[in-house]
Structure 1
Amino acid sequence: MTKQADVVVIGAGPGGLTAALYASRSNLSVIIIDRGIYGGQLNNTAEIENYPGFKSILGPDLAQNMYESATQFGAEYAYGNVTSVEDQGQFKLVHTDDGDFKAKAVVIATGADHRKLGIPGEEDYSGRGVSYCAVCDGAFFKNREVAVIGGGDSAVEEGLYLAQLASKVTIIHRRDQLRAQKIIQQRAFANPKVDFVWNANTQEIMGDGQKVTGVRYTDKVSGEEHILPASGAFIYVGIDALTTGFQDLNILDEKGWVVTDEHMRTATPGIFALGDVRQKDLRQITTAVGDGGIAGQEVFNYIQSLGDKVDQQVSAK
């Protein structure tokens, strides 16, 4: 049986929950679909210090607060893995592995996923020294030595950000030169707190059972093994948008990111997107929430316009 609503929000992270809040508060029926627990990556974050209104809050606690806020005006939550979205004009059909949902508008809030190295210690120390976001976690490493693994724009830019906080930043790269833009490279080379390890294959994130203590790597040229002492390991080897199932909607760029305007509208009327799944520079809880507020209001405006179009068609007849 196909379940119907005015709006289906795909993804229950901070942005998706905010969109659901705004849309349901506008008296629209809303269904939030997610393949996991609401809150998304918040549930994997031990402590958050950069969300307004809280000096510090645990990630799971903020997720619970956002969920309760998002559902207070009647938005429903459903578990499901979305396999595709079908554009049927004034209606959209959302296919999941547990049934279909029909809506006038769809909000894509599926986020993005950092690529993993897949080495020992990476998963064990995630949130305990292993991070994929310097802006999120850099403040926890003031006056400590950290490692940055990667050599592209993100790795070097985040390394420079960390250099404002850490006592030393060592960028570990598998090649003999960076892939980042030249101007970013120049800034890194000129920073006395930034050091480099070249031609290195990272083998293991080391720790004492509680926190990260270092990074073990192999020199690709000599074959020698080394251990770099570090209190944190920031990994930047790529990030991928979670857009499986949306390829037929004409809304993705060549790298798989959803393209929107400043109103969170995609090229397909009635399909909106927000948060980390979009083309954007800063991926934070605050930016996702901001996108969510805009998307929720724009969904209301869009559905109101559908009513106007129907009235116009009736008058024309």
Structure 2
Amino acid sequence: MTTNTENAKIEQCIILGSGPAGYTAAIYTGRAGLQPIIYEGLQPGGQLTITTEVENFPGFADGIDANELMDSMRKQAERFGADIRTATATKVDLSQSPYTLWFDDDTVVKCRTLVIATGASAKYLGLSDEKKYQGQGVSACATCDGFFYRKKVVAVVGGGDTACEEATYLAGLASKVYLIVRKPYLRASKAMQDRVLNNPKIEVLFETNTLGLFGEDGVEGAHVVYRKGEADERTYDINIDGFFLAIGHKPNSDLFKPWVKTDETGYIMTEGDSPRTGIPGVFAAGDVADPHYRQAITAAASGCKAGIEVDRYLKEND
């Protein structure tokens, strides 16, 4: 390959992202004989690799290690001919087909079809302890990891609908849930507020910020401060086994915003129940286009759709 766009080879299918959506799209396009190329991006294996065990992916009765699951998907994609490359896209031009992509390894590629499966990154508070205890009590997905905290005490950070949904979900598993809210009120809908405030297992800590986490072999508690900077500021600790972030996700879509439609948060908007972006031959799959579910299984399903659509598009436009 070359940095000269005129001499760049035109590939049939490029897939950006190597999470469940990207790998599944590669499996389907590979089986169709399209020799897809996957660019792994910044996080090979996707968001799933920052968790530990996955218990809600069908087919694994006893659960499976997240990295093992993603490694299996990778090998399956390679089995069907996927070319997996370690590089990240830095620029794209989707103004006309074949589409042009630039990468951080100084290569340029043109393609007839593109699957955007770059995912979404959970927002964190920025505490060093969040990285320290990643996979050891810190999580950004209650649906993914809540089961590990049955009959234990957990905290959820956030005050919007997502935080209230996560707190309510965890209350069905944990013995107690602290909802740590920076403001003196909840931003969630009235229905969600009522659900949280009327749940005896949930204790809302208003006007509270997290200062840090502590524990020997995992999270055992959090240092918090009430009314930070005020005259009645008070610092104290809460004992918890799990710490859940629910302050939102940022879809990794900035690179594509000049070309595709996104919602106010940045999630790529697709046509109906399809992965079509509105640009012929360009599809979006996984968390980058999913503001609602953000699960490995739904990402894989959308990757399946994208793979099928790629094959159909190429056959129709031969």
Q: TM-score range by the shorter chain?
A: over 0.9
| TM-superposed deviation, 1:84 | 2.0
Show CA shifts across 1:259-278 (max 9, x none): 11212000211110011000
| TM-superposed deviation, 1:254 | 2.8
Asked whether 1:66 is paired with 2:105, we answer no
2:129 to 121, 127, 138: 121
SS in 2 for 1:248: coil
| TM-superposed deviation, 1:230 | 0.5
| TM-superposed deviation, 1:120 | 3.5
Contact 1:142 1:167 in 2 (8 A): yes
Corresponding residue of 2:255: 245
| TM-superposed deviation, 1:126 | 1.0
SS in 1 for 2:44: coil
2:96 to 66, 89, 92: 89
Corresponding residue of 2:242: 232
Contact 1:120 1:205 in 2 (8 A): no
SS in 2 for 1:156: helix
Q: Which amino acid aligns with 2:66?
A: G
Show CA shifts across 1:242-294 (max 9, x none): 01211221332232110112120002111100110004310111001100111
Asked whether 1:32 is paired with 2:38, we answer yes
| TM-superposed deviation, 1:300 | 0.5
| TM-superposed deviation, 1:37 | 5.5
1:4 to 10, 15, 39: 10
Show CA shifts across 1:9-63 (max 9, x none): 0001111000011011111121101224631223222111111111211111111
1:217 to 208, 224, 227: 224
| TM-superposed deviation, 1:88 | 4.6
Structure 1, 165-174 or 26-35: larger mean CA deviation: 26-35
Contact 2:95 2:259 in 1 (8 A): no
| TM-superposed deviation, 1:236 | 1.2
Counterpart CA distance in 2 for 1:139 and 1:195 is: 20
**Distance change >3 Å, CA 124–CA 117, structure 1 → 2:** same
Show CA shifts across 1:57-100 (max 9, x none): 11111111000101112110111121122125331111112211
- TM-score when normalising by structure 1: 0.93
Contact 2:49 2:66 in 1 (8 A): yes
Corresponding residue of 1:273: 284
Contact 1:84 1:244 in 2 (8 A): no
Asked whether 1:108 is paired with 2:136, we answer no
Corresponding residue of 1:206: 214
Unaligned 5+ segments in structure 1 are 308-317
Counterpart CA distance in 2 for 1:88 and 1:244 is: 16
Counterpart CA distance in 2 for 1:133 and 1:265 is: 27
Q: Which amino acid aligns with 1:174?
A: R
Unaligned 5+ segments in structure 2 are 3-7
- TM-score when normalising by structure 2: 0.93
- CA RMSD of the aligned region, Å? 1.3
Corresponding residue of 2:21: 15
SS in 2 for 1:121: helix
SS in 2 for 1:203: strand
SS in 2 for 1:249: coil
Contact 1:10 1:108 in 2 (8 A): yes
Corresponding residue of 2:52: 46
Corresponding residue of 2:154: 146
Contact 1:14 1:288 in 2 (8 A): yes
Q: Which runs of 4+ in 1 moved over 4 A?
A: none
Counterpart CA distance in 1 for 2:316 and 2:261 is: 21
Counterpart CA distance in 2 for 1:3 and 1:142 is: 53
Asked whether 1:164 is paired with 2:164, we answer no
Counterpart CA distance in 2 for 1:68 and 1:252 is: 32
Counterpart CA distance in 1 for 2:108 and 2:128 is: 40
